[in-house]
Each structure stands twice: as C-alpha cells, then as structure tokens.
Amino acid sequence: MFVDEVEIEVRGGDGGRGCISFRREKYVPRGGPDGGDGGDGGSVILEADEGLTTLLDFRYRRHYAAPRGGHGQGSDRHGANGGDLLLRVPVGTIAREREGNRLLGDLTVHAERLVVAAGGKGGRGNARFATSTRRAPRRADPGRPGEARRLRLELRLLADIGVVGFPTAGKSTLVARLSAARPKIAEYPFPTLVPPLGLVRVDDARHFVIADVPGLIPGASEGKGLGLRFLRHLDRTRVLVHLLDLDPRTGRDPVEDWRQIQTELQAYSPELAGRPQLLVANKVDLPGTEPVLRRVDQLARRHRLAVARISARTGQGLELLRQTLSAMLTAGTARGSTGAAS
C-alpha cells in the first residue's frame, strides 16, 4: 500500500534525576558529597532511507518515545544516557509540526538525519554544587523533560520529469516503456493509485527519473478525485510532460484536456505551471489522428511549446523523446532557471 501522508506523535526521553549522596567510608571522616548526574534522554531522529518508498509503517503505529536517561547514584556514578530512537523514512519526506504547520526539515539525501524531538538534559547531582564554603550541599537537579511534538510527515517523490494527463491517456504505459518501472496498467479511470518512479537511461553517462502523477482531473487542485494527494508530488520535478491522448474513439479533445490540466496546475502553484513543459502526443499509430494532431501543433505554436509524437504501445518516437527530455533537463540546469520551454 502506498501511503504518502501520516500524522504521528514523538517524544524525546526525559533526563535522569541528579542524586543527593554523601560518602560513607570507614576512616574517611566528614565524607563529602558524591551524588552523580542524571543521564541525558534520547532523541527521536528521522533518517532518510532510499530503500523505502512509503510511509506505511507509520499508519499502524502513531506514538514514538525515546528512552529516558538513567538517574544519578552515589559514589559519583552518573546515570546512563538514553539511546536515540531512529525512525527510517523514504527519501523525499518532509516533516512539519502539526500545530502551526511549521517546517522542521526536508530529507532529500540518503542517510540524512533530522532531530524532531530532542531528549531532556540530565540533572546535576549534589557533587556539582560543592564549594569551599558549602561543603555539604543537599541539592540536586531534576532531569529536564524531553521535547514532545505532533508531526505531519509528507512524502514527495524525487523525480526529474513529471508525467501529467487525464486518466487512461497512457501515462503508466509511457513510464513502463521508457524505464524498468512496472506500474499497473488497465483500461478504466484511475487505474494508478501509486505514483510509479522509473529510471530512464539515455546513455552510459546520462539518466533521469520519471514519475507518473495520476489523478489530475478538473477540480483536482480543490481536492476532487485523487486531487491534492498526487499534485504535491510534482513539486520537485524540473520538467512537465503533458501526455495527450489522440485516440478519436475516446471522444476527448486533447487540446481541451491540456487547458484543463494547465488550469489545475496554475491553481495549485503558478510557479509549477510555469516550469518547462513538453507536449507529448500519444497513440499517433492509430488511424484518424491527423486532424487532432494538427490542432495540437497549433496549440504548441500558440504557447511556444515543443511537441513529441509517440506511440507508447508500439515504441514509436520513444528514443527521440528520451533525447529531448534529457536535453531539456540539461538546458534547465545550465540556465539555473525553470522558465517556460520554447
């Protein structure tokens, strides 16, 4: 099961109490204070793991607490520090405080760590308070409580290319043909419930990650259909592929489909809608697509967009598409910008 948003509660371990103790040894008159310090509480830490793809584990367990520190003891024995609690999450996970929606961190690199609930400091024992004028202090600190937070974890896929289009336009088929990804493919609305990632190899030195982002329909930016659940996975993409279905048997107008999806992208994020785009006309192998393809070409000229003509089913045009996408990514990196493609 693909889970990309969860809410959990985390708590760092409390610090251990400091100890009040005095030396009681034979032949040592007036023994001084020897109370040890309490140990520090453990922290709750998120660690990005590239081997994980979902937040599913956090669906079944919502409360996490790190161990507390040990209490101080006599004979200057300090309490043991509580061990940190390490929670592994997929690369691309964002952690926010539930109250106020404050961003705590964004884990985008394998093995990157983020402390989300720090452990409390251990209390000082009475040996710490001894001075030349106060030789028998009867004071020790309690340990400080660990931080407690309610978190919202969001997973946003790390993909260079995001493929958008209406359901059954052929997005999953395209990702499967370009890469080694094997998404579920079917001929009914919303067949894709998990945004699949695929690694596309252009040559020995060049490759990029492509993602099928499903569920975009009119009203998606308002939460209709699968709506916002998948729109946010486009946030990290550098190039958008609008996959247009040319099949005349569907009765759909690919030009109007593009306009509706562009409207949803604009409503969700104007910055996202302005990123480099490529129109990909799919199913050009079918008869009767020439009139529709001419309208797509007119749309592309009007908005200064490039058009790639492919058949995801037969493989026609896919090698040229790989090269085109790789060139767009390279150009975007060289410019250091995400302006409109021409």
> CATH number for the domain including 122?
2.70.210.12
Specify the higher pLDDT residue, 150 or 213.
Answer: 150
| Helix axis angle, 318-335 to 171-178, nearest 10° | 90
Note the pLDDT of residue 188: 43
Say whether both 148 and 173 belong to one domain.
Answer: no
Please report, for residues 7, 83, 285, the alpha-carbon distance to residue 95 in angstroms, rounded to integers and kept in the order given.
10, 22, 46
Say whether both 135 and 259 belong to one domain.
Answer: no
Closest CA to 310 of 203, 180, 165: 165
d(CA 123, CA 141): 4
What does the DSSP assignment read for 279-302? EEEE-TTSTT-HHHHHHHHHHHHH
280 domain residue, yes or no: yes
Q: What is the mean pLDDT of residues 190-213?
A: 76
> What is the chain's percent helix, strand, coil content, to nearest 5?
25, 25, 50
Q: Looking at the predicted structure, is the pLDDT value of residue 222 above 60?
A: no
Say whether both 215 and 326 belong to one domain.
Answer: yes
d(CA 13, CA 45): 12
Q: List pLDDT tens digits, range 259-310.
A: 988 988 888 888 988 899 999 999 999 998 999 999 999 999 999 999 999 9
Token duo for residue 49: 């793991």
Please give the angle made by the CA atoms of 153, 156 and 160, to the nearest 5 degrees. Answer: 160
Q: Single out the residue in 155, 178, 200 at which a domain terminates.
A: 155
CATH number assigned to the domain comprising residue 214: 3.40.50.300
d(CA 270, CA 260): 14
Q: Single out the residue in 100, 129, 155 at which a domain terminates.
A: 155
Confidence of residue 185 (pLDDT cuts 50, 70, 90): very low
Output b/e per residue, 36-69; b: 16+ Cβ within 10 A.
bbbbbbbbbbbebbeebbbbeebeeeeebbbbbb
Say whether both 150 and 169 belong to one domain.
Answer: no
Q: Which amino acid is at 222?
A: E
Note the pLDDT of residue 340: 32
340 domain residue, yes or no: no
Say whether both 251 and 130 belong to one domain.
Answer: no
Confidence of residue 43 (pLDDT cuts 50, 70, 90): very high
Token duo for residue 92: 């691309």
Return all residues near 10 (Cβ < 8 A) that are at least 6 apart.
44, 64, 65, 87, 116, 117, 148, 149, 151
Note the pLDDT of residue 307: 95
Token duo for residue 135: 């030789």
Expressed as residue numbers, the domain containing 193 is 161-335
Say whether both 129 and 173 belong to one domain.
Answer: no
Q: List pLDDT tens digits, range 140-160.
A: 999 999 999 999 999 887 789
Percent of the chain with pLDDT over 70: 85
Q: Single out the residue in 106, 124, 155 at which a domain terminates.
A: 155
Say whether both 180 and 135 belong to one domain.
Answer: no
**Total count of domains within the chain:** 2
341 domain residue, yes or no: no
Q: Looking at the predicted structure, is the pLDDT value of residue 249 above 90?
A: no
What does the DSSP assignment read for 204-260? SS-EEEEEE-----TTGGGT-TTHHHHHGGGTT-SEEEEEEE--GGG---HHHHHHH
Say whether both 221 and 295 belong to one domain.
Answer: yes
Please report, for residues 25, 39, 269, the alpha-carbon distance to residue 117 in angstroms, rounded to integers and kept in the order given.
42, 17, 31
Confidence of residue 66 (pLDDT cuts 50, 70, 90): very high
d(CA 337, CA 168): 32
pTM for this model (two decimals):
0.74
127 domain residue, yes or no: yes
